[in-house]
Amino acid sequence: MKEINGKAICRMGCCGVFAVAYVAGKPIEEVFELIKKRYRKGNRWQGATSSKVREGMLKYFGVRFKPVHKVIRIAYRDGIKASYAGTDLTGSGTLATWVDLHTVRGVTYIVENCDHVMVICDGIMHDQNRSGPISDYRRKRSRVESALQIISN
């Protein structure tokens, strides 16, 4: 098992770092240290990333991408329906459904659901813990928050 600073990556919250490293074809240790330096993370940082950091690092490595999904937040105030920034893919539903309906064979995606980031290509999910079919993923019924389609790397 790979380690960063003596700690197994499966024990760290570095799924976003893993996704960037996987797509960019770089060692996870290198990407971890680069994010730590560029974004001034402290020694106790375990690898948590925001979408802004992930997108910035993809640009740094010259990986072209485009956003393909962002959930619309709907709130009801005084009986009036209001939606917030984002695009909605009708019927996206769960992660498994989103993969079936909105992914293209041979295209790689970085997908964020709940508090986790993963790489999906051809129905196979890759994260810092495992790789396998999306049907075997324990949180396949969670909602997709955002997704980036990788155009080139």
Angstrom distance (rounded) from CA 123 to CA 135: 8
Residue 79's pLDDT is what? Answer: 52
Which pairs from 98-106 meet CB under 8 Å and 24+ separation?
98/69, 98/144, 98/147, 99/123, 99/134, 102/68, 102/69, 102/147
Distance of CA 41 to the CA centre of its chain: 20
pTM above 0.85?
A: no
Q: What residue type is assigned to position 86 of the chain?
A: G
Q: Provide the number of structural domains found in the chain.
A: 1
pLDDT at 86: 45
pLDDT at 100: 86
Q: Which residues pair with 111 in a beta bridge?
A: 118, 147
Q: Which domain holds residue 24?
A: 3-152
Contact 61, 26 (CB under 8 A): yes
Binned average pLDDT, 10 residues per bin, the chain of 153 residues: 70 87 94 94 89 95 88 50 45 76 90 90 90 88 88 77
Q: Residue 113: helix, strand or coil by DSSP?
A: strand
pLDDT of residue 47: 87
Contact 84, 95 (CB under 8 A): no
Question: Among candidates 37, 6, 19, which has minimal Cα distance to 118?
Answer: 19
Sequence-separated (6 or more) residues with CB below 8 Å from residue 101: 89, 91, 92
pLDDT of residue 90: 40
78: domain CATH number is 3.90.70
Question: Which among 145, 37, 31, 150 is positioned nearest to 89, based on CA atoms?
Answer: 145
Whether residue 146 contacts residue 112, with contact meaning beta carbons closer than 8 Å, is answered with yes
Could you give the CA distance from residue 4 to residue 32 in angstroms, rounded to a whole number?
A: 8
